[in-house]
Structure formats: C-alpha cells, structure tokens
Amino acid sequence: AQTVTQSQPEMSVQEAETVTLSCTYDTSESDYYLFWYKQPPSRQMILVIRQEAYKQQNATENRFSVNFQKAAKSFSLKISDSQLGDAAMYFCASFKGGTSYGKLTFGQGTILTVHP
Amino acid sequence: NAGVMQNPRHLVRRRGQEARLRCSPMKGHSHVYWYRQLPEEGLKFMVYLQKENIIDESGMPKERFSAEFPKEGPSILRIQQVVRGDSAAYFCASSPGLAGGPNEQFFGPGTRLTVL
C-alpha cells in the first residue's frame, strides 16, 4: 500500500517570492511515480509536475520544480516567482509503477495563499 | 477536444434518496476513475473501470455504492439510500489506453453532492 503525507495544511508567500511545499510518502514498490496537482477555487484538478522514481534528476516545469529525495522518501514542490494565479490547494500524489493504469494516492493537501 | 465532463455539477438529495453521477471521458479515453473528496481532505480513490468492466473497486464502500461504464454512454456512479456522510465532491478522471508509463489522468470539474 502507498501512503502520502502533506504536513503543511496552509502556506503563504508574497508575490514574486519562492515557496516550498513538503510531501513525504511511503511505498514498498521499487517502481513508482510521484505527482503534484493543483486545485484552484474552480476545483478543477490540474497536473503540475511529475517525477519518475527511477530518475535521479529532479523534474522541472517552468517556475515549478521538485526536490526528490528517494532515500528520505521526500518529494517537495518549489514554486519560484510566485504569481497570484498560483493560489490554490496543492496535492501530492503517488502512482504504483509497472503498469500504465491504476489509482492515484493523494495527500491531504496544502492550501497556498499568494499575497500581492 | 472537450475535457472530461461531469454532470450534474451540484446535486442535492434527501436522506434515503438515490444519487446518480455521470462522467463522460475525454474523446478516445477508455479508462475511467472515480475519486471522492470529503471536506478538508484529499481525494480518495473509489473505483477504476474500463469499458464494460470494473478493474479495481478496492476503494468503494461495500454497500449502497455501484459504478458502471457501459459500452455506449457515460460512466455512472450510483449511490443508493444516501446518508449525510455521503456529502462530498466526486471527481471523475479519464486516461487513454497507452502502454509504457502511467497514463496521465485528466480530471473533470467534479460533482458536489449535498445530502440534507
């Protein structure tokens, strides 16, 4: 079974600053994937970034990057140059590898507020 | 290409009534997932279906809940004899049937069920 834990219920950041959201996970699988999803007030879930566990290089997508620490089972999301539109609930999620289909396991979420 | 469609967006039921939630996957997608989001919590997997088949229903409550994905038409999540604890947002996601690595799950806007 996989578990995902987000220990920060809420975070805030000033516009244009950088913020890091934390996530830890537990899995017995050797092959797995990790994701960060964004849920704005519209409630639409949007994939932000994904990381393959077998890759040592941290994934980046424009202003979004991750710090993947496999031994520590940590997967944090860094948002650089924060924008007002980044305000949302952010969910960390895991996916068991070895298959193309299956369930995502989500953390509890972190509410991010961006101050102008 | 239209995204994942869910209807209704909001559904109000009285205790004991039935709730039917519909999900139309993205065009070309043959895999559908249902997740439930209770207030202040992350999304929890319920069931995963392919056309006419339930593949994984490990997250479905044993009673009152059922899901189907017929050959023609949308996927339906059915909740019989609803209780107040069923009040939640129900999200549907779909993915294509591509081999090699996890298929991205595209989420619908959700159905918010309120049980009076």
Whole-angstrom Cα distance, residue B62 to residue A93?
25
> Residue B13: pLDDT band by 50, 70, 90 thresholds?
very high
CA distance B64 to B61: 7
Q: CB B109 to CB A108 under 8 A?
A: no
Report residue A38's pLDDT band, with 50, 70 and 90 as the boundaries: very high
Per-residue pLDDT averaged across B3-15, rounded? 96
**Side chain identity, residue B106:** F
Residues in chain A closer than 8 A to B101 (CB atoms): 33, 52, 100
Residue A31: its pLDDT value, please?
A: 86
Q: How does pLDDT run across B76-86, given as a tens digit for each residue?
A: 999 999 999 99
Report which listed range, A1-5, A21-25, A42-46, is most confident.
Answer: A21-25
DSSP A51-91: EETT--SPPEETTEEEEEETTTTEEEEEE-S--GGG-EEEE
Task: Name the B residues in 39-78 with CB < 8 Å from any A CB.
Answer: 41-45, 48, 55-56, 58-59
- pLDDT of A1 strictly over 80: no
For range A95-102, the mean pLDDT: 78
Compute the nearest-CA separation of A89 from chain B (Å): 10
Residue B101 has pLDDT above 80, yes or no: no
Task: Closest CB to A101: pick one of B43, B91, B95.
Answer: B95
Per-residue pLDDT for B1 more than 60?
A: no
> For residues A19 and A112, is the Cβ–Cβ distance under 8 A?
yes
Residue B15 pLDDT more than 90? yes
Could you give the CA distance from residue A98 to residue B100 in angstroms, rounded to a whole number? 9
Collect all residues with Cβ–Cβ distance below 8 Å to B43 and sequence separation of at least 6. A45, A91, A104, A106, B35, B36, B37, B91
Instruction: Using an 8 Å CB-CB cutoff, list chain A residues near B10.
Output: none
Q: Which among B43, B93, B100 has CB closest to A100?
A: B100
Indicate yes or no: CB of B31 within 8 angstroms of CB of A101: yes
